[in-house]
Structure 1
Amino acid sequence: MGTLYYGDSGTPIGIEDRALAHLKIAITTKLRRAESFTLSWQHPEDEPRGRSTIWLHPSISLRFVFDDPESPELSRDWVEELMRSANSTGGIILIEEHIDPGHLVGSQPEHVAG
């Protein structure tokens, strides 16, 4: 479980490492362009039910902390979905990754014996 620290808030935001790695790309892309936006997510099952939203602005400090020392292989489709939501009026909505086996690196189509 990774952690996102935003501004002076003493409350860390726990986000699974793989999701955080993808969010990092979308967030830093927007902030490099000096664009402000929101980030919304549903609370994990171990927290009280609900959802949260924060306002991200280039002047507010941001730190990504990953538990896993290795960077995961990124899904271009997931990053693109996050960027599409980042460019909408609702801001980035943390969605789960939708895995298409045909788009995985190194995947081979299965042959059906006939």
Structure 2
Amino acid sequence: MATLQYGTSTDPIHIEDRALAHLKVVIATKLRRQESFTLSWKHSDDEPGGRSTIWLHPSIPLRFTFDDPEPPQLNMRWIEDLMHSANSSGGIMLVDEVLDPDGA
């Protein structure tokens, strides 16, 4: 399970390695453009509450930590879906990966 450290909070955000690898691409792209947005996700069954949202801004420190030392092959369709949601007024909603029939 990968973690996202955001701002000065000592509470890590736990996200599956593959999902965080895809989110990292989208988040880095948006922040490189100096664009702020929200990121929302549903809590896993072992966490209290139902869902969370954070405001991502280029000036707030962010760290991605992965359990797997090797980066996964990225699914461009999933990245495009996440980028599309990042550009919406609701921000990124972490959704499950949709497998491309072409295997991309």
- Structure 1 and Structure 2 fold alike (TM over 0.5): yes
Q: Which residue of 2 aligns with 1:96?
A: 96
3-state SS in 2 of match to 1:64: strand
Gaps of 5+ in 2: none
1:68-79 correspondence runs (5 A)? 68-79=68-79
Q: Which runs of 4+ in 1 moved over 2 A?
A: none
How many pairs were matched up? Answer: 104
3-state SS in 1 of match to 2:23: helix
The aligned amino acid for 2:103 is: L
Q: 1:68, CA displacement in angstroms?
A: 0.2
Q: 2: distance between equivalents of 1:103 and 1:34?
A: 33
Q: 1:99, CA displacement in angstroms?
A: 1.3
Between stretches 64-73 and 46-55, larger displacement belongs to 46-55
Q: 1:48, CA displacement in angstroms?
A: 1.7
Between stretches 41-50 and 2-11, larger displacement belongs to 41-50
What TM-score results when the alignment is normalised by the length of structure 1? 0.89
Gaps of 5+ in 1: 106-114
Q: Which residue of 1 aligns with 2:85?
A: 85
Q: Which residue of 2 aligns with 1:40?
A: 40
C-alpha RMSD over aligned residues? 0.8
What TM-score results when the alignment is normalised by the length of structure 2? 0.97
Identity %: 67
Q: 1:49, CA displacement in angstroms?
A: 3.7
3-state SS in 2 of match to 1:40: strand
Q: 2: distance between equivalents of 1:68 and 1:91?
A: 27
